[in-house]
Each structure stands twice: as structure tokens, then as C-alpha cells.
Amino acid sequence: MSPVATIRDYDVVIVGAGPAGMTAALYTGRAMLRTAVLERGFPGGELLNTEYLDDVIGFPKVLGHELAEKFAAHAKQFGAEFFETTSVTSVKKMPDGYFHTETETGDIFRSPAAIVTAGGTPIKLGIPGELEYAGRGVSYCAICDAAFFKQQVVAVVGGGDAAVEEGDFLTRYANKVYLIHRRHEFRASKILQQHVFDNPKIEVIWDTVAEEVEGDPQSGMTGLRIHNLVTQERRLLDATGLFVFIGFRPNTGVIAGHFDHDIMGYVLTDNAMMTSMPGLFVAGDLRAQLTRQVTTASGDATTAAIAADKYITRFKEMQREGSTTAEREALESSHVSAGGYT
């Protein structure tokens, strides 16, 4: 902590203001909890990187940044305090049961419960044109964007379960899907591979890497340059879409101390969104779950906020009663074993 750092007290601190963080803020604000939302950029999360969405119920077609503005305005309406351009460096549970959420300036936000909704980052290919045409041909989410590629030719890069499964899914819309893998064998499970090999709309291109996304400012992506690492042949695929599935990094680095996670690093929770660290809740893309969408992030966050409210109420009751650390820990673990609040 720097010498001029301040300690501010809140009921709950939310890390990240994407769909999950903003939904959590709406609910904790509405529950009259003193809420701080710490966001390293501006409210919106991945919505700010998404051109259009057509799968958020009630919004048949909406611009990502417009939806972000609507979410933020609604979340702020109930009193949550938003701290923008405030990057969190760590969320740490102290021996007295409080969380200290520290920012890069050394300020500390102290609260009995914390909700981390820091999302994750799709791993990029790092090739020319990839970022330029992101949202205008290049995508990292087939469920989100497949419908924009009806009757078109698209390429998928990757060799794991996600690439193979999403490639198969894309053929519901696209006329043809090139599945490009730098090796001569997929890592994906055999059953998923079989779906791909049986699908006449998919052509697998082995031993090959994507080299450059081509396009023009008006129409977006128009082609993908690829390079066969065995034959050294280079060619241009006539694809108007590129789906990259080479991994996703959950932003869990801010959580100090041990927390249970799956093999990919996603945070495991009980059904109240509480982690193995009592009082620490997570919601959205960094949580281990089947899918990662705006609506699931909001759904998780609703549960997390309501569960956090109940946790905070009990935490404060115990403080008033002067409970010992042992009593507090027993109560915290009773929540975990019960798998939720009643």
C-alpha cells in the first residue's frame, strides 16, 4: 500500500463492469448495499468489442456499445458507485473475514463480500488484419455470430473441442466451413471429430496456419491467406468469416490465495456462485460453465448478488453478536456444504 493510499468501506465490491458486473451492481444497489464497481476501462466489457447482438432477449438487433450504455444507466440507477479506469490488482481475504480489493494506485476497498466478474480474453492469432476486421468478419464466438454468416464461406482456426464443435455448429448457417489446423491431428474428443468428418459442408485443412486476413473498409473481411507448413504452399481462401478458437484465458489473476478451479483455470462455484473462498463470489465468463453469453453472465450475476446480500447480512449479524473466528468459519462452511441459501 502506498503512503497516501486510502481505505474505503463498502458492503460489497464488484470487480469488472461487463454484463455480469453491471447486473450484479443493479441487484446489490437495489438491495440497498453500499456497492463499489471497479472497472479498468469503461462499462461494457466484451459488449464494447461486439458490433451487433441478436440474441439478447428483448433486443432483436442491438449495437454492442448501445446495449452497454443501457446496462450501465440501469445499473447506476440503484445507487452503485462506478469507478472507471480503475484497475484492480488483487482481491484478498483478510484474517478478520473482510476482503481487501486493491487497485493499481494502492487504494483499498474493504468489504465483507466481493464479486469478481473480470471476464476473460479470447487468445488471438496475432496475424495482420485480425484486429482490423474483428466484428467485421473475424469472430471468437460461433454461438454469438454464426447467424451473420448465412450462405457464406467461413474459416475456423483451431484443433481442440471448441474449434471442432463450433465448426460443426457453423454449418447450420454457412454453405462451407474450412477447418484449419496447424497439426495433422485434432486434440478434440473423438466423437466431436467424427461429427466433423461426417459433415459434407466441412473441409479440414491440415498442417496449415492462417497468415493474414484480407478485406476492405466497406465490406469487411473478403479472404484469408493460409500457409501449409509441410508443402510450403500459400493460398487465398475465399472466406468472408474467420472464427478463431485457440483458447480463452479467464481473468482470475486478481484473486489472491487459493480458489478451486477446473483444468482450464475457470473458477468453480457452488450453485449460489460462491467460490471455495467463503464470501468471494464470481459470475460470467470467468466461471466454469457450459457456455459464455451475455444472458448467462447476467443470470450468474443475479444469483451472485442475491447470495452475497444474504452472506453480508449474516456476516454483520455475527459481528454484532461478537462471534468468534471459529464460529464465523463454521457458519461460512455450512453455507458451502448446504450448496446455497434458503
Ligand X SMILES: Cc1cc2nc3c(=O)[nH]c(=O)nc-3n(C[C@H](O)[C@H](O)[C@H](O)COP(=O)(O)OP(=O)(O)OC[C@H]3O[C@@H](n4cnc5c(N)ncnc54)[C@H](O)[C@@H]3O)c2cc1C
The catalytic residue positions are 141, 144-145
Query: Side chain identity at 272, as an amino acid letter?
Result: A
Which cell numbers hold the place of 291?
A: 457456455
Element (H, E) at 156: strand 153-157
In the complex, the smallest distance separating the C-beta of residue 121 from ligand X, rounded to whole angstroms, is 8
Exposed e or buried b per residue across 308-340, where buried means at least 16 C-beta atoms within 10 angstroms of its C-beta: bbbbbebbeebeeeebeeeebeebbeebeeeee
Tracing cell 459481528 back to the chain, one arrives at 319
- Rank residues 178 and 248 by Cβ distance to ligand X and give the closer one: 248
In the complex, the smallest distance separating the C-beta of residue 324 from ligand X, rounded to whole angstroms, is 34
In the complex, the smallest distance separating the C-beta of residue 330 from ligand X, rounded to whole angstroms, is 32
- Rank residues 193 and 252 by Cβ distance to ligand X and give the closer one: 252
- Rank residues 38 and 164 by Cβ distance to ligand X and give the closer one: 38
In the complex, the smallest distance separating the C-beta of residue 43 from ligand X, rounded to whole angstroms, is 7
In the complex, the smallest distance separating the C-beta of residue 63 from ligand X, rounded to whole angstroms, is 11
Following DSSP, what letter does each residue of 300-313 receive, concatenated? HHHHHHHHHHHHHH
Alpha-carbon Rg of the chain, whole angstroms?
A: 22
In the complex, the smallest distance separating the C-beta of residue 220 from ligand X, rounded to whole angstroms, is 14
Binding site for ligand X (CB under 6 A): 15-21, 38-41, 45-47, 49-50, 53, 55-56, 87-88, 117-119, 122, 139-141, 144, 251, 254, 284-285, 292-295, 297
Distance CA 216, CA 165 (A): 30
- Rank residues 18 and 215 by Cβ distance to ligand X and give the closer one: 18
Distance CA 199, CA 167 (A): 10
Helix 325-338 vs helix 294-321: angle between axes, to the nearest 10 degrees?
Answer: 150
Strand order in the sheet with 108-111: 7-9, 108-111, 99-103, 88-93
Tell me the CB-side half-sphere exposure of residue 315, using CA atoms within 13 A.
21
Query: Side chain identity at 325, as an amino acid letter?
Result: T
Number of H helices, E strands in the chain: 7, 21
- Rank residues 42 and 78 by Cβ distance to ligand X and give the closer one: 42
CB-based burial label for 201 (10 Å; 0-12, 13-18, 19+): middle
- Rank residues 20 and 177 by Cβ distance to ligand X and give the closer one: 20
Distance CA 183, CA 165 (A): 17
Distance CA 242, CA 157 (A): 8
Which cell numbers hold the place of 158?
A: 483451431
